Amino acid sequence: MALKNFLKKDKKDEPQKSEAPQEVFGKRSEAFRILKEPHISEKSTKLSEENRYVFKVFPKANKKQIKKAIKDVYKVKVLNVNIVNIPSKKRRLGRIEGKKRGYKKAIVRIKKGQTIELL
């Protein structure tokens, strides 16, 4: 009898699982699921002088998610977000053909006087 009672598990003794594992990491963990990396080029450095910054983002991200992610990570006020889908392109090296991956790019305009340090 005692062995049966020992093998039974009480639900009270089990540790409780947290419902949302994101709470441990905070808002930043969700932001890094949306933002991949800053897109650095001649055009993007010229845009940064006008308080506009360019980021590569995950393909399923939308404008609201990108705005929230930039706000959480960089602590700036985002005025608007424009999105550009860059299509994949064919590349060739001799007889070997391949494809250059496409990606999604977000151009973010922030409040005048604020900056984002990318490098």
pLDDT of residue 118: 78
Tokens of 8: 């039974």
In a domain, 9, yes or no: no
Which domain covers residue 110, as residue numbers? Answer: 26-86+99-114
pLDDT of residue 119: 67
In a domain, 20, yes or no: no
108 bridge partner residues: 53, 81
Domains identified in the chain, total number: 1
Say how far apart CA 33 and CA 27 lie, in whole Å: 11
How does pLDDT run along the chain (119 residues), one tens digit per residue?
A: 555 565 555 555 555 544 444 444 556 677 888 999 999 999 999 999 999 999 999 999 999 999 999 999 999 999 999 999 999 999 999 999 999 999 999 999 999 999 998 76
What Rg value do the Cα atoms of the chain yield, rounded?
23
In a domain, 8, yes or no: no
In a domain, 59, yes or no: yes
pLDDT of residue 75: 92
CATH for 33: 3.30.70.330
Say how far apart CA 30 and CA 33 lie, in whole Å: 5
pLDDT of residue 31: 83
Tokens of 97: 């053909």
pTM above 0.85, yes or no: no
pLDDT of residue 18: 40
In a domain, 110, yes or no: yes
